[in-house]
Amino acid sequence: MAKRRRQEALPIAKKSWRDEINNEDSDGSDAELTRYCGAEESSQFAEANNDTSQLLHHVELATEDEGDEDDVDEPTADAALARWWRSECRSNEATRGTTAAATKNLAFLERSEAGRCFLAGEASGLRDKVSKGDVDASIHASLASFLWRLRDFYGARQQYNRALTRSGNAPGQRRHRGRWANAVEMLNRQIAAHEVQRAATIKMSGMASPAKNRCVERRAMSSLSYEEFIECYARSRVPVIITGGCASGMVGGNLKKWSSQELEKRLGSRLVPLKEPSLTSMQWASLEDAGTVPGDEFIRLAREGKTSRYLFDYSLPANRPDLAEELSIPMYFANDLLQGTPEGSLYREGWPSLFVAPQGSLSELHVDSFGSHFMMALLEGTKRWRFYSPEDIPYLSPSYSRSPDPSFEVDLSQEWNKDIHPLVSLASPMDCVLEAGEVLFVPAGCPHRVEGLTPTVALSMNYVDPTNIELAKKEIRVAANTDPKAARLLQALHSGVPSAAPPAGGAEFVPFTAFKRG
Q: pLDDT, tens digit, for every residue of 472-498? A: 999 999 999 999 999 999 999 987 666
367 within some domain: yes
Concatenating the DSSP letter of every residue in 242-299 gives EESSHHHHHTTT-GGGGSHHHHHHHHTT-EEEEEEE-TT--SGGGEEEEEEEEHHHHH
310 within some domain: yes
CB 373 within 8 A of CB 465: yes
479 within some domain: no
Domain boundary residue among 426, 441, 467? 467
Q: What is the pLDDT of residue 178?
A: 93
511 within some domain: no
CB 102 within 8 A of CB 110: no
Residue, of 39 and 361, whose pLDDT is higher: 361
- List the end-to-end C-alpha distance of the chain, in Å, as a whole number: 44
Q: What is the pLDDT of residue 284?
A: 65
Q: In this structure, are strands 448-452 and 362-366 parallel, antiparallel, or unpaired?
A: antiparallel
Concatenating the DSSP letter of every residue in 78-105 gives HHHHHHHHHHHHT--------HHHHHHH
Residue 26 has pLDDT above 80, yes or no: no
pLDDT (tens digit per residue) in 428-449: 999 999 999 999 999 999 999 9
| Pair (24, 123) in one structural domain | yes
| Pair (195, 238) in one structural domain | no
What percent of the chain shows pLDDT beyond 70?
Answer: 78
Q: What is the pLDDT of residue 390?
A: 96
Judged by average pLDDT, the poorest of 67-81, 140-154, 195-209, 364-378 is 67-81
CA distance 11 to 124: 10
Which amino acid is present at 406?
P
Query: Mean of the pLDDT values across residues 137-161?
Result: 96
Q: What is the pLDDT of residue 34?
A: 32
| Pair (225, 175) in one structural domain | no
Split at pLDDT 50, 70, 90, the class of 43 is: very low
Judged by average pLDDT, the poorest of 27-36, 159-168, 310-319, 467-476 is 27-36
What percent of the chain shows pLDDT beyond 90?
Answer: 62
Strand partners, 393: none
**64 CB burial (10 A radius; 0-12, 13-18, 19+):** exposed
| Pair (181, 126) in one structural domain | yes
Q: Which residues are CB-contacts of 286 (< 8 A; sequence separation ≥ 6)?
A: 277, 278, 279, 362, 363, 364, 366
Domain boundary residue among 203, 231, 249? 203
Q: What is the pLDDT of residue 322?
A: 96
289 within some domain: yes
| Pair (249, 361) in one structural domain | yes
CA distance 59 to 79: 6
| Pair (121, 34) in one structural domain | yes
Q: Rg for the chain (alpha carbons), in Å? A: 25
Strand partners, 362: 451
Q: What is the CATH number of the domain that holds 414?
A: 2.60.120.650
Judged by average pLDDT, the poorest of 5-14, 351-360, 491-500 is 5-14
Strand partners, 329: 510
| Pair (250, 191) in one structural domain | no
The arrangement of strands across the sheet holding 240-243 comes to 217-220, 240-243, 439-442, 373-380, 456-463, 353-357, 311-315
Q: What is the pLDDT of residue 517?
A: 76
Q: What is the pLDDT of residue 383?
A: 98
CA distance 39 to 299: 40
Query: Mean of the pLDDT values across residues 331-356?
Result: 95
Q: What is the pLDDT of residue 473?
A: 96
Q: pTM score > 0.85 for this model? A: no
Split at pLDDT 50, 70, 90, the class of 72 is: low
Average pLDDT over the chain reads 82
Q: Three-class SS of residue 409?
A: coil
Judged by average pLDDT, the poorest of 5-14, 217-226, 235-244, 346-355 is 5-14
CA distance 162 to 167: 9
Judged by average pLDDT, the poorest of 255-269, 296-310, 411-425 is 411-425
- Cα 491 to chain centroid, rounded: 25
Which of 353, 355, 366, 356 has its CA nearest to residue 449? Answer: 366
| Pair (297, 445) in one structural domain | yes
Half-sphere exposure of 334 (CA within 13 A, CB side): 24
140 within some domain: yes
Split at pLDDT 50, 70, 90, the class of 209 is: low
Split at pLDDT 50, 70, 90, the class of 379 is: very high
Judged by average pLDDT, the poorest of 100-109, 295-304, 306-315, 323-332 is 100-109
Q: What is the pLDDT of residue 311?
A: 95
| Pair (292, 411) in one structural domain | yes
Strand partners, 452: 383
Residue, of 183 and 24, whose pLDDT is higher: 183
- The residue segments making up the domain with residue 367 are 214-339+349-467
Strand partners, 214: 430
503 within some domain: no
Q: What is the pLDDT of residue 418?
A: 64
**131 CB burial (10 A radius; 0-12, 13-18, 19+):** exposed
Concatenating the DSSP letter of every residue in 430-455 gives EEEEEETT-EEEE-TT--EEEEESS-
| Pair (287, 360) in one structural domain | yes
Q: Nearest 5°: phi and psi at 232? A: -90, -20
| Pair (190, 230) in one structural domain | no
Domain boundary residue among 156, 175, 203? 203
Split at pLDDT 50, 70, 90, the class of 61 is: very low
Residue, of 24 and 206, whose pLDDT is higher: 206
28 within some domain: yes
User: What's the domain count of the chain?
Assistant: 2
CA distance 198 to 52: 36
| Pair (297, 388) in one structural domain | yes
